[in-house]
Amino acid sequence: MPIPEFKPFVCYSLTAIFSWKEAILKKFFCSVMAVVVFCFGALAPASAATPAKEKVILSADMVDLFDDGVAMLMLAKSPKVDLLGVAVVIGNTWVETGTASAIRQLEGIKRTDIPVMMGVNTVHREGRMAAIQDEKTQFGRGPDTHDGAAGYPQPKSWKDAYRAAYNAEPTMEPSKENAVDFIIRQVKANPHEVTIVAIGTYNNLAAAVQKDPSIVPLIKRVVYMGGAFFWNGNVTPQAEFNIWFDPEAARIAWRTPFKEQVIFPLDACEKIKFTKKRYDALAARLKDPHFQTMFANHWTMPKFKENPEWNTFVWDVLCAAYVIDPTIIEEEETLPVDVNTVYSPNYGSTLAYRGIPPNGTQKARIVFKVNEEKVWKQVNDLFDTM
């Protein structure tokens, strides 16, 4: 009996098996690729639509609402900003008062996760706080008679300041870490990512770069409110308050070789007026009793009652608005800048050089004009949430 020829069957069977496996593998490969393409296709638009938040440290001589408070609240509530912390500094207020104010406002928007640090509570010039009163007769004053922390006694503690101002007990505490150490630590932890917004005196920043100069190249940029370059001063005919309160600190900061410095001086700030009409419109937007009471007791209210035509400015708000939306700048010029630290009627005046600058000066972007409509829209949007 002849032996059956099984070879064709075997070849056919193996071919069929391999074809079947190949088909399965192809289907599996195609399925995997489809999932990969879908995932990356879904992620790509999300990444483009949601850029990384701007990491910000706010150094402020804090007051309720306008102007430091509104700047802080804008940054704290912006989806574009990661407010790493608030470093309180002397200036408008003693650090104790400013700390109480920062805490009260962060409590109001339920952002007690944002740390508040107590910072530098002294100025560089020895005896300056007591001498400020004498300077009025020696050097004269400008249209703004504001003395800041030099105009009232230093509180015993931030809690005493809180209880006196708000007749309540705080629900959060300031960080045990000093503001200067906080700045140094955060910059090192986030190299080339941190923007420092300095809207009070520049003492915290000056102390930080002097304590640890290695952070200077690691800071992404510094945004300041301060100075008056081609504009009159406010507290003196030449000087703006933030610089005038401690010119030595300002000089240290501006002469530090940061990658980028952006300055919002009176040249830009005093082109946007805060009127009674604007005050009333913003008051009508507030719904939270916490902030309604705060705004009703705001320092501008007695001024508006006395003279409805009186107006002021929103200074620090421009810095926060810029960090959130850099397109608000309409006119600017990059120039070397400096601060006059000679104790004289020009003490605290600021200089920008279109010619040859002194050795040691650094360039800064000086803002001369912003888009007022964009700024007020950000403020209105903020007040709609409070």
pLDDT, tens digit, 9 for 90 and up, residues 146-172: 999 999 999 999 999 999 999 999 999
SS percent in the chain: helix, strand, coil, step 5 = 50, 15, 35
Is residue 26 over pLDDT 60? no
CA dist 63 and 264 (Å) reads 19
In the predicted model, what is the mean pLDDT of the chain?
Answer: 90
Tell me which residue of 70, 60, 61 sits closest to 313, measured CA to CA: 70
Q: Where does the pLDDT of residue 51 fall: very low under 50, low under 70, confident under 90, or very high at 90 and above?
A: confident
pLDDT at 7: 40
Q: Return the bridge partners of 333, or none.
A: 366
Tokens of 125: 């010039």
Split at pLDDT 50, 70, 90, the class of 49 is low
Give the C-alpha separation, 208 to 347, whole Å: 24
Q: Are 266 and 232 in contact (CB under 8 A)?
A: yes
Contact 151, 120 (CB under 8 A): no
- Mind listing the pLDDT tens digit for each residue in 276-328? 999 999 999 999 999 999 999 999 999 999 999 999 999 999 999 999 999 99
CA 370 to chain centre: 17
* pLDDT given for residue 136 in this prediction: 84
Residue 314 and residue 372 in contact, taking contact as beta carbons nearer than 8 Å: no
Tell me: pLDDT of 42 over 60. Answer: no
Mean pLDDT confidence for 373-383? 98
21: left (phi over 0), alpha (psi -120 to 50) or beta: alpha
Q: Is the pLDDT of residue 349 over 60?
A: yes
pTM: 0.87
CA 226-313-292 angle, 5° bins: 120
Q: Determine the Cα–Cα distance for residues 137 and 276; give it in Å rounded to an integer.
A: 32
Amino acid at 159: K
CA distances for 274 relative to 67, 236, 315, angstroms: 11, 21, 10
